[in-house]
Amino acid sequence: MPDQSIPEARTPALEEGASEQAPSMEGLSRRKLLSTAGATGLVLGAAGGAVGYAARPAEATPLTSVGTDEVMFHGKHQPGITQGLQARGHLIAFDLAAGAGRKEAAALLRRWSQTARRLMAGEAATQDDTDVARDAGPSSLTVTFGFGHSFFARTGLEKQRPASLDPLPDFSSDHLDKKRSDGDLWVQIGADDALVAFHALRAIQKDAGGAARIRWQMNGFNRTPGATSQPMTARNLMGQMDGTRNPKPSESDFDQRIFVPSSGSSDPSWMADGSYAVVRRIRMLLDDWEKLSVTAQEDVIGRRKSDGAALSGGTETTDMDLEKADAKGNLVVPINAHARITRPDQNGGAAMLRRPFSYHDGFDGDGVPDAGLLFVCWQADPLRGFVPVQRKLDRGDALSRFIRHESSGLFAVPGGAAEGEYVGQGLLEG
């Protein structure tokens, strides 16, 4: 779990505000209800879509306005990449049904895109809406679509498959369940309300119809907006601040690292302005981790647990001093500390934008928690982003004793759909 990548984005922590008297619900449509929400509501339009991006805490927002936050479906990039992490998430992979090919895939992506646009705007699904989210606003809902390696053979589009989508190499720390890995199609759903997220999940499942069947599904969560007194980096289930060194959109090379350029790239043209998502289900061995003292945990990570600052001193954002030693000559940040190993300047500049969710799927027969991280990271090229960092972690990360990679997937996520278009149209109709 590379340190340079989990953002508080992952959990935009927002300030709590005084509640406002709700308007009468009688006679109000869902859309009208949104228009009457308190003036404190923040609506993200095309120009403001990067507010609360995954590399820093989102702007402080009173709890009463959480439901009104809206992310636009149409745009240069698909939603759910640079936005701040939502409180609830669902990851789901599909395989095309037997006999389904390019034509059926195109019709499915068209349906999915129409549904995603409506739901992200706070509207009902086109057909047979379940009313699960009837009383809620958009709640920062995002729906993101991607294609797996196997999709291209199934649709006769092998010549359009990007080289960057070649299968990830094997890592010694992998304990992968093939049934919960890969897939023809991948969908990421996130929202700041659990019912809104579930509503979108059901709509996407129903839209699949006879064209595709579910391969696997995973459910996650993050801190709820308004749960902290001020915006701050989120914590993972190990209690560590997570996401301090995520790339920031304000950095000059952010787009170069995260998105496929619109020209001059070896990727096919349909991937312009898109990105590659690596998805890993990483189980945290919490019983073993929690037996460590706080000092031992900090040595494993290389950062203070209390405030996320590097063990070499300063604040959370102070650059780590990799050469600093204590009175006995020992490195203050251990040589195998997770935060040291994952630094971009220790990996040839390799960087990725992490946007994960935590998960808890109960307990096994021995009472051991099945919990950890639904790791999702974004990069323009996984062979220059995720792969070199994970290889280095594989060779000596102190954290590897306390985690286990249990499933994996790599997906090509095309750029955003323009008005009147659907996601992947350039591939499926090109």
Q: What gap in Å lies between CA 349 and CA 340, rounded to an integer? A: 13
Partnered with residue 221 across adjacent β-strands are 88, 358
Residue 103 structure tokens: 């034509």
- The contacts of residue 34 (CB under 8 Å, 6+ apart) are 67, 68, 70, 122, 137, 138
Per DSSP, the three-state class of 105 is helix
The helix (run of H) or strand (run of E) holding residue 187 is: strand 185-191
Element (H, E) at 94: strand 88-96
Please state the φ and ψ torsions of residue 339, each to the nearest 5 degrees: -65, -30
Give, in order, the Cα–Cα distances in Å from 141 to each of 24, 65, 150, 284.
24, 14, 28, 27
- Within 10 angstroms of residue 27's Cβ, the number of other Cβ atoms is 6
Q: Tell me how far apart the alpha carbons of residues 122 and 127 are, in angstroms, rounded to a whole number.
A: 15
Secondary element (H or E) of residue 387: helix 386-394
Annotation marks residue 345 as catalytic: no
Interior/surface letters 331-346, b for 16+ CB within 10 angstroms, e for the rest = bbbbebbbbbbbbbeb
Token pair in block for residue 404: 């286990």
DSSP β-bridge partners for residue 93: 186, 216
Is residue 103 within 8 A of residue 195, CB to CB? The reply is no
Spatial separation of the C-alpha atoms in residues 42 and 376, rounded to whole Å: 26
The answer to whether the beta carbons of residues 99 and 155 sit under 8 Å apart is: no
Q: Beta strands of 204-328 (E only): which ranges?
A: 212-221, 275-284
Six-digit token pair at 267?
Answer: 């990727």
Burial class (CB in 10 A: 0-12, 13-18, 19+), 201: buried
Task: Give the N- to C-terminal CA distance of the chain in Å, as an integer.
Answer: 37
Q: What is the DSSP letter of 173?
A: T
Which residue of the set 3, 69, 207, 242 is catalytic?
Answer: 242
Q: Which of 75, 81, 4 is nearest to 45 (CA)?
A: 75
Residues with catalytic function: 242
